[in-house]
Structure 1
Amino acid sequence: MSSLVLGLSHVRSLYTPSMTILNSTNNYDFLDIIEPVTAYTDGYLLSLNLGAPPQVLQVYLDTGSDLTWVPCGSTSYQCIDCGDEHKPTPTFLPSQSSSSTTDLCGSRFCVDVHSSDNRFDPCAAAGCAIPAFTGGLCSRPCPPFSYTYGGGALVLGSLARDSVTLHGSIHDGGGGGSTAPAPRPVDFPGFCFGCVGSSVREPIGIAGFGRGTLSLPSQLGFLGKGFSHCFLGFRYARNPNVSSPLVMGDLALSAAAADGGFLFTPMLRSATYPNFYYVGLEGVGVGNGTAAAAPPSLSGVDAEGNGGVLVDTGTTYTHLPDPFYASVLEALGSAAPYERARDVEARTGFGLCLRVPCARAPCADDQLPPVSLRLRGGATLTLPKQSTYYAVTAPRDSVVVKCLLFQRMDDAGGGGGASGGPAAVLGSFQMQNVEVVYDLVAGRVGFRPRDCALGAA
């Protein structure tokens, strides 16, 4: 994707794993995890502390996939087609961790990452004899895997296990809230992750936050509760000194329950793709009146698992299918009192770019129409303007070009076409300055527009 803000597009493993928990938060009376998240040029980063002593690696926070992986090994990490900005990436060194082990071929994580319908396949590939793997006695390592994302991205590696250290708040009384003590390091041993030596279009690691066995919240036991994030504006990209919190556990849910500012919509489920977080979209509002009605495929998920809107922090921009996407562009173009910049549209790939009067940056005072998402259940989320439009040029002759950062959905971007899957994707750019809570107890997703920098560390 060629534009000023690079795009990630992730397609997840479609295997339906068991939901057995590796490390349960039941080991603690009341535990919340509070981790700082920083903005990057094309997503949001979480620091993982792996091993003993801990090695710190930066990874993307991705609700649209399950596998957590890091660049790994004693040789240099190889990334193909990672762009001109790709620089040498820090790698995890298993040999320098006293608690590092390899995952075995018979583990549920090995079966999951190989997307196998037969739990014996990985052990057969590892060269075990039939009596050994049918009796659960094979001690061979899990065979190397490939894990595929959208747009041709993939990673190659092996499964490892090691301790992961996160910042936990252990407190009395349950429910968290403002009285919870400051987070302190909490160690989770035996965390399973991908040790990746090479990739295509994936320059750094990923923390998978999907609903499958391999995901980070699943292994830590938080899929019985929920989590929340509040993404900083992209103006903080590449500034590691400013962060906002990712919260897992009761504290995320109690904060949403106590504040009436959240807009909730039902979390849809797909029998075919159960590891995704779906919501329904009934329309897109433009300005104060005009609205484009969404097709039925966006408001629900059918019996084959197709349709709905995937909430995916690993995809940068929101993607909508045609002809709905075209109708949104037409409504916005008619409502905006500015000239189209079709040359910039052709160069960037964005469907609507406009020449906006501006003498000097940041050019925030404009008459671009606000965009609102009309969600299933009646909630209407009005997106912050900086989460909708982006200045793709510097001011020149008192004019700046701003583009709508929505894109057209296609099969390569994550389904919705002939290949099935989600009909649309809600990307991380539209979630900046919006607090999002994934309430897995009540089966709903909550949104609250706010300046996430106000609570930043």
Structure 2
Amino acid sequence: MLCEGKPTPNNSSPLPPPIDSRRVSCASPLCSAAHSSAPPADLCAAARCPLEDIETESCASHACPPLYYAYGDGSLVAHLRRGRVGLAASMAVENFTFACAHTALAEPVGVAGFGRGPLSLPAQLSPALSGRFSYCLVAHSFHADRLIRPSPLILGRSPDAARLGPAETDFVYTPLLHNPKHLYFYSVALEAVSVGTRRIQARRELGYVDHAGNGGMVVDSGTTFTMLPNETYARVAEEFARSMAAARFVRAEHAEAQTGLTPCYYYAASDRDAIRAVPPMALHFRGNAAVALPRKNYFMGFKSESGKDVGCLMLMNGGDASGDADGGGGPAGTLGNFQQQGFEVLYDVDAGRVGFARRRCTDLWDTLSRR
């Protein structure tokens, strides 16, 4: 968050760090976590702790070095601090750790981390709010007047859906995979994708994470479209195209060239018969967790540049590579937020699982607002 030497919104005097907070030590495991698991000795050396104190592990009085953080198109430089945070009149978290930024470019006032690391917001609020949280993403819309409700975020979410009113479906759960290289990823095992009546087996890499951190499917609210390895994507797209051709949809190749999406077809969203002819699609995760996608989550209709109504498969080819350029490991696939629309996604970290349930996210927001 921007809190150190930054001007207030009315351009008055700069904001000081919170009075009841203090710097985190370079020897703290939290400092190491903020610096990509760098050894405390290296961090304390950067903090100018004398060599003899580094050798005797006596650098506790030296502050954690500034950290650089980039997200989206913005970035910031911050110091790590910790202090007491009040959540409600009767609830507070002691030693809450946060980054106090003194330099930022194109960043919002603050960014909340929801990964699996020790510095994430859910991890620090546990056990006060348990190790669970969920969100429910309202439908994507390019029309501002249709954005009538925000997407609800629930901290300390109970898996008992009845607490928040009637649910369209119960949660289906799939276990989280351990990623030894990227501990903050929410990785799950994708076993298959169904298109119509055909079940297409996913590539083996989507079902496990190796010692280098390669593999698995990451559930990610920040990535727009689901990405599949080339072979799996090609088989899904081929079966989808076969089913669409059998239903006598006409291919819109000009829309494919314009959008980079494929396959695309001439399609009017107002045509109920056409809607029913689009083959259903489901994602099958480990643990018999079948997630049937609404059609709008994988096949979206819009007007092309020529003014014609078309619809395209909203999945992306993620290529063959599974890993970073530096060999640091990477996911084999990503479950993007477009495919998560209309689902409450529950991250039950304590139980090591992720749950999916169909919801009317606007109704869920209204229910929460009345509590």
TM-score (normalised: structure 2): 0.79
Kept after mapping to 1: 8 A contact 2:24/2:31: yes
Shift in alpha-carbon separation, 1:218–1:136, aligned structure 2, 3 A: farther
Indicate the percent of aligned positions where both proteins have the same amino acid. Answer: 37
1:393 corresponds to 2:314? no
How far residue 359 of structure 1 moved from its aligned partner, in angstroms, is: 6.4
1:218 corresponds to 2:139? no
Kept after mapping to 1: 8 A contact 2:118/2:124: yes
Could you list the per-position Cα deviations for residues 230-270 of structure 1 after superposition, in whole angstroms to 9, with x for gaps in the alignment? Answer: 22222398688623432233x42233899772222222223
**Equivalent residue in structure 2 for 1:243, among 140, 145, 150:** 150
Shift in alpha-carbon separation, 1:411–1:139, aligned structure 2, 3 A: farther
Shift in alpha-carbon separation, 1:366–1:417, aligned structure 2, 3 A: farther
Kept after mapping to 1: 8 A contact 2:301/2:312: yes
Letter of the 1:188 counterpart = V
1:328-407 paired onto structure 2 within 5 Å = 328-336=236-244, 337-358=248-269, 365=275, 367-393=277-303, 399-407=308-316
Letter of the 1:340 counterpart = R
Shift in alpha-carbon separation, 1:155–1:318, aligned structure 2, 3 A: farther
Greater RCO (CA < 8 Å, at least 6 residues apart)? 1
1:270-309 paired onto structure 2 within 5 Å = 270-287=179-196, 289-309=197-217
1:451 corresponds to 2:360? yes
Kept after mapping to 2: 8 A contact 1:434/1:447: yes
Instruction: After superposing the two structures, state which structure 1 stretch, 104-113 or 252-261, moved more.
Output: 252-261
Which structure's CA Rg is the greater one? 2
Report SS of the residue matched to 2:111. strand
Q: Distance in 2 between matches of 1:439 and 1:403?
A: 33
Q: Distance in 1 between matches of 2:228 and 2:7?
A: 38
1:144 corresponds to 2:144? no
**Equivalent residue in structure 1 for 2:19, among 88, 98, 105:** 98
Could you list the per-position Cα deviations for residues 52-81 of structure 1 after superposition, in whole angstroms to 9, with x for gaps in the alignment? Answer: xxxxxxxxxxxxxxxxxx35554589xxxx
Shift in alpha-carbon separation, 1:450–1:394, aligned structure 2, 3 A: farther
Kept after mapping to 1: 8 A contact 2:123/2:131: no
Kept after mapping to 2: 8 A contact 1:156/1:198: yes
Report SS of the residue matched to 1:271. coil
Shift in alpha-carbon separation, 1:417–1:121, aligned structure 2, 3 A: closer
Report SS of the residue matched to 2:215. coil
Letter of the 2:104 counterpart = S
How far residue 124 of structure 1 moved from its aligned partner, in angstroms, is: 0.9
Q: Distance in 2 between matches of 1:198 and 1:273?
A: 25
Letter of the 1:372 counterpart = A
1:414-433 paired onto structure 2 within 5 Å = 420-433=329-342
Aligned match of 1:81: none
**Equivalent residue in structure 2 for 1:206, among 111, 115, 136:** 111
How far residue 322 of structure 1 moved from its aligned partner, in angstroms, is: 0.8
1:124 corresponds to 2:51? no
- Segments of 5+ residues of structure 1 without an aligned counterpart are 1-69, 78-87, 169-183
Kept after mapping to 1: 8 A contact 2:132/2:348: yes
Report SS of the residue matched to 2:154. strand
Q: Distance in 2 between matches of 1:276 and 1:430?
A: 18
Report SS of the residue matched to 2:116. coil
Kept after mapping to 1: 8 A contact 2:97/2:119: yes
Shift in alpha-carbon separation, 1:203–1:413, aligned structure 2, 3 A: farther
How far residue 296 of structure 1 moved from its aligned partner, in angstroms, is: 1.2
1:42-81 paired onto structure 2 within 5 Å = 70-71=1-2, 73-74=4-5
Report SS of the residue matched to 2:240. helix
- How many residues were matched structurally? 353
Report SS of the residue matched to 2:40. coil
Q: Distance in 2 between matches of 1:102 and 1:411?
A: 44
**Equivalent residue in structure 2 for 1:438, among 340, 347, 363:** 347
Report SS of the residue matched to 2:152. strand
Kept after mapping to 1: 8 A contact 2:74/2:105: yes
TM-score (normalised: structure 1): 0.65
1:317 corresponds to 2:201? no
Report SS of the residue matched to 2:160. helix
How far residue 121 of structure 1 moved from its aligned partner, in angstroms, is: 1.5
Kept after mapping to 2: 8 A contact 1:434/1:448: yes
Shift in alpha-carbon separation, 1:384–1:219, aligned structure 2, 3 A: same
Q: Distance in 1 between matches of 2:76 and 2:259?
A: 27
Could you list the per-position Cα deviations for residues 11-52 of structure 1 after superposition, in whole angstroms to 9, with x for gaps in the alignment? Answer: xxxxxxxxxxxxxxxxxxxxxxxxxxxxxxxxxxxxxxxxxx
Report SS of the residue matched to 2:224. coil
Report SS of the residue matched to 2:179. coil
Q: Alignment RMSD, CA only?
A: 3.9
Aligned match of 2:32: 111
- Segments of 5+ residues of structure 2 without an aligned counterpart are 367-371
Could you list the per-position Cα deviations for residues 205-242 of structure 1 after superposition, in whole angstroms to 9, with x for gaps in the alignment? Answer: 43211111111111122596322222222239868862
Letter of the 1:284 counterpart = V
How far residue 127 of structure 1 moved from its aligned partner, in angstroms, is: 0.8
Letter of the 1:382 counterpart = A
Q: Distance in 2 between matches of 1:190 and 1:421?
A: 32
